[in-house]
């Protein structure tokens, strides 16, 4: 058969984006085919979607998506639904947790819920929690102190409401109680008086009994102890209105 006839049956060549038409892997002077092939692979983009076929590989021994450029075909979108590997899962969950921890402090219980939600078993969860604690991402005692400060000074809440908030965040009861006990009773009382004064201005014009009842209920919802509520109401409402 003539050379011309043979060429009629040769398939067209689709060059890889990083390959130069007209050059053979072994065309560089002084290098054998293996060296040239290694250089070609080293110059390829580090993209797992387009792996380069290595010597000795067959079509069946490499992922189908790795042949996409060689065959001139697009990546099969069905591959997007392939189950992720354990390493991929771990990396995804870790990015999620660390991102949340960088935005706001979380309790151990809150991180545990996230890990369980994303499929980690009890043993894995314990290992991840231990690692986050070791790296300083998780510290329930530190979180409790922060919450007490924010709830008391910025939101004007009393010790009862603060303890409820710490419990809601999943903090250990002993840790939560220890943090709340650090509140200065005199500071809490002074804070309650300030909150009561602001609220009393909104109750002007009401009947004395109604104003007294509403202010008392408001301070109780804020979590102040009953004796503090009683003293605050007596201080900010005129005697004839109480």
Q: What is the pLDDT of residues 143-169, one digit of tens each?
A: 999 999 999 999 999 999 999 999 999
Using alpha carbons only, give the angle 65, 69, 73 rounded to the nearest 5 degrees.
75
Provide the percentage of residues in the chain whose pLDDT is more than 90.
55
Specify the pLDDT at position 36.
Answer: 41
Specify the pLDDT at position 86.
Answer: 80
Compute the distance between CA of residue 49 and CA of residue 206 in angstroms, rounded to an integer. 72
Is residue 177 scored above 70 in pLDDT? yes
What's the whole-model pTM score? Answer: 0.60
Say if residue 134 is exposed, middle or buried (CB neighbours under 10 Å; 0-12, 13-18, 19+): exposed
Residue 56's φ and ψ, nearest 5 degrees, are: 95, -15
Helices 185-201 & 226-236, crossing angle to 10 degrees?
Answer: 50
pLDDT band at 15 (very low <50, low <70, confident <90, very high): very low
Decide: 175 and 142 in contact? Cβ < 8 Å.
Answer: no
Is residue 193 scored above 80 in pLDDT? yes
Closest CA to 25 of 67, 54, 47: 54
Specify the pLDDT at position 81.
Answer: 64
The pLDDT tens digits of the residues spanning 58-113 come to 444 444 333 333 333 344 444 556 677 788 888 999 999 999 989 989 999 999 99
Alpha carbon distances (Å) from 200 to 24, 187, 236, 237, 239: 88, 20, 7, 7, 13
Average pLDDT, integer, range 204-231? 95
Decide: 18 and 43 in contact? Cβ < 8 Å.
Answer: yes
The pLDDT tens digits of the residues spanning 31-63 come to 444 444 344 344 444 443 334 334 444 444 444
pLDDT band at 28 (very low <50, low <70, confident <90, very high): very low
């Amino acid at each position: 058969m003539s050379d011309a006839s043979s060429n009629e049956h040769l398939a067209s060549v689709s060059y890889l984006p990083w390959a130069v038409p007209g050059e053979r892997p072994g065309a560089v002077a002084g290098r054998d085919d293996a060296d040239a092939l290694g250089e070609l692979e080293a110059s390829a983009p580090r993209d797992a979607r387009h792996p380069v076929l290595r010597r000795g590989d067959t079509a069946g021994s490499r992922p189908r998506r790795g042949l996409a450029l060689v065959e001139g075909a697009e990546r099969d979108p069905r591959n997007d639904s392939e189950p992720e590997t354990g390493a991929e899962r771990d990396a995804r969950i870790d990015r999620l947790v660390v991102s949340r921890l960088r935005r706001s402090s979380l309790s151990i219980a809150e991180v545990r819920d996230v890990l369980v939600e994303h499929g980690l078993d009890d043993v894995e969860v314990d290992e991840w929690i231990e690692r986050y604690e070791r790296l300083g991402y998780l510290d329930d005692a530190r979180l409790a102190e922060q919450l007490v400060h924010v709830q008391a000074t910025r939101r004007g809440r009393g010790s009862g409401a603060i303890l409820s908030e710490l419990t809601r965040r999943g903090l250990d009861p002993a840790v939560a109680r220890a943090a709340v006990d650090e509140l200065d009773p005199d500071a809490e009382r002074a804070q309650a008086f300030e909150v009561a004064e602001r609220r009393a201005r909104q109750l002007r014009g009401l009947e004395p009994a109604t104003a007294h009842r509403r202010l008392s209920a408001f301070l109780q919802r804020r979590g102040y102890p009953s004796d503090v509520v009683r003293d605050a109401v007596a201080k900010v409402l005129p005697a004839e209105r109480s």
